[in-house]
Homo-oligomer: A and B are copies of this chain.
Amino acid sequence: MTEKDDFDLRNFMPFLLNLAAEQSSLGFQRTYKNRYGMLRTEWRVLFHLGNYGEMTAKEIGERAVMHKTKISRAVAKLSQRRYLTRTRDERDRRSERLALTPAGLVVYRELRQEAEAYEAQLGKQFTAGEVVLLRMMLRRLAGLD
């Protein structure tokens, strides 16, 4: 140790959070990446449309806390793969209503099932109360509530 030390990097919250986030993403990533060649941004978009129904890119951005350029590119890819359709909103022709195709819906259902299983598996390491508390703290740290 160079310094007398009560401070350990491995307890530094941003570091720990990043590491935990990375690790926990890794397991699930195998599913959408290896199985469907998708990026994280893409499955998030897919997921939003599957989970909450038709919406615009902007709405997705707000809900998923993603920058609009990420969304724009993810939408382009998903549309290319015929997982979603884009239809100009006639009431505001700047924006488009995005909706999953039947093919997109199939993939969504599959991924969602995987996600639920993965979530359950992660949760098994802790008590139900701990998980609730963890979620609450993460939501606060994420600035969600």
Contacts and interface: CB of A to CB of B under 8 A. Distances in A.
A5 B3 CA distance: 52
A141 B23 contact: yes
Q: Which 6 A-B pairs have the closest CB atoms?
A: A17-B21, A19-B142, A20-B141, A21-B21, A20-B142, A16-B138
A106 interface: no
Given A12-B115, A53-B1, A133 B135 contact: no
A142 B50 contact: no
Interface stretch (A75-83, A84-92, A118-126): A118-126
Contacts of A65: 19, 22
A10 interface: yes
Q: How many copies does the complex hold?
A: 2
Contact of A20 (B2, B5, B8, B138): B138
Contacts of A53: 1-2
Interface residues of A, number: 59
Contacts of A28: 14
Contact of A2 (B11, B12, B105, B138): B105
Interface string A17-45: 11111111100100000000000000010
Interface string A125-138: 11000100111011
A140 interface: yes
A21 to B, nearest CB: 4
Nearest to A125: B140
